[in-house]
A and B are shown apart, each in its own frame.
Chain A
């Protein structure tokens, strides 16, 4: 599904060239999940934007479903931390927006939006504006919107980082259920170790900028709600934490 090799991304910021990512390579099979974790500024969001086709890479190859990455791939859904919803549209209008933009007639778009809002338990809040929704509800709307597009690839940039612990776990459970049901490929950028271990079959640990992959942790035992309470989960979390800290020590030297 995703094949990245020799990826380098540089951009110009205030007349200096900044390298955000260098020598990044990984593969992710169809229907698998991958969590990307690393210190702030390690270019993990940059990687996601490249996968979404919103940012051009400088060097290397990025293939999605055997084709070079391109903007506006219809089956790719992107969920952002904040600002994913438009403040001037109600929950229902926000959910239907994806289909409307893709030229689906209004009636059908609204019907599809209704269906996925009901699936996520936010149909009651359809007439509320984002400012009237809780953080958890907002992210549910964002997920509902991406579901209407029937994506095969979910890209998420710290989707739950502004939520409290309980809401966050509830949404992680929801996401897990959806992944199991729809079998779509998921890439999740997070700075939360537990989230990475709970949702990522593969965990890519990035070094501080310029971002490189320090280590890949295989975590194929995930996939159950109870995973959170199992000893293996804690072991994996410690392992990931250790690698991140070691990476930080190296770059500090």
Chain B
């Protein structure tokens, strides 16, 4: 039932120490300048955060969050409707099946050409990719909603909007949040890739920052960037997990 928080904290602390130890040992045994250990890297991270890494971190986080939100709303709305209205799904399904497996990252050059090197192109590309992941999950969850549950609420006099509000949406919510957590990994990967390719000057984002450090052979600065991106992913993942616990208390009974 309820996990003991102290115990969990100790488990996580143990895992962190072990991972850092593996990193340290690997760095020591390799003994190469391009692979600094955890102490050196975290020192660099602290120093760089004071010097402007934070701005890159902020802009990258902003791009990921906005992209996820921009994909989430239409994907959830459309997914719920397609899962419930079979007739619509019959028309939409071929499009989804044909476009879902296409790796949309291949459109990066086209998107940059059309939308430029700024935020818009990155957010657009991430949103499109994540949109499909959430759409397919939501549609499948909405299809599986128990018919008797809908009937019982219909018999209370519910209209179509109330069916979505009281039945379909809460039934899909846990799966939507899981899809979002999985999409987060995809979103950060796409973001990194597009930032390395398509950022110029100013706060280019961590992908840009990392590539710059690499080009200057500043290995500890590069690792500061790696830590920043890792922490961003970890932090957003925690937020989503917390949201799932808060929004779906019935799931963990």
Contact = CB atoms under 8 A, between A and B. Distances in A.
Interface of A: 49, 52, 54, 71-72, 74, 76-78, 80, 82-89, 97-98, 101-102, 129-132, 145, 149
Given A88-B248, A129-B253, A82 B148 contact: yes
Given A88-B248, A129-B250, A101 B152 contact: no
Interface string B242-253: 000000111001
Nearest to B174: A88
B153 interface: yes
B221 to A, nearest CB: 48
Contact-residue bracket for chain B:
20 to 34
A76 B154 CA distance: 12
A78 B250 contact: no
Contact of A86 (B155, B167, B253): B167
Nearest to A72: B157
B162 A101 contact: yes
Sort A-B residue pairs by CB-CB distance and give the 3 closest, nearest first: A78-B155, A83-B148, A88-B170
Given A101-B162, A101-B166, A131-B250, A86 B148 contact: no
Interface of B: 146, 148-149, 151-158, 162, 166-167, 170-171, 173, 248-250, 253
B250 A87 contact: yes
Contacts of A129: 249-250, 253
A86 B170 contact: yes
B157 A74 contact: yes
Does more than half of chain A's interface fall in helix, strand or loop, or is it mixed? loop
Contact of A101 (B146, B148, B158): B158
A83 B152 contact: yes
A117 B173 CA distance: 28
A182 to B, nearest CB: 18
Contacts of B156: 97-98, 101-102, 145, 149
Contacts of B149: 83-84, 86
Given A72-B157, A101-B157, A54 B250 contact: no
Given A86-B170, A101-B166, A54 B155 contact: yes
Nearest to B163: A101
Nearest to B253: A131
Contacts of A83: 146, 148-149, 152
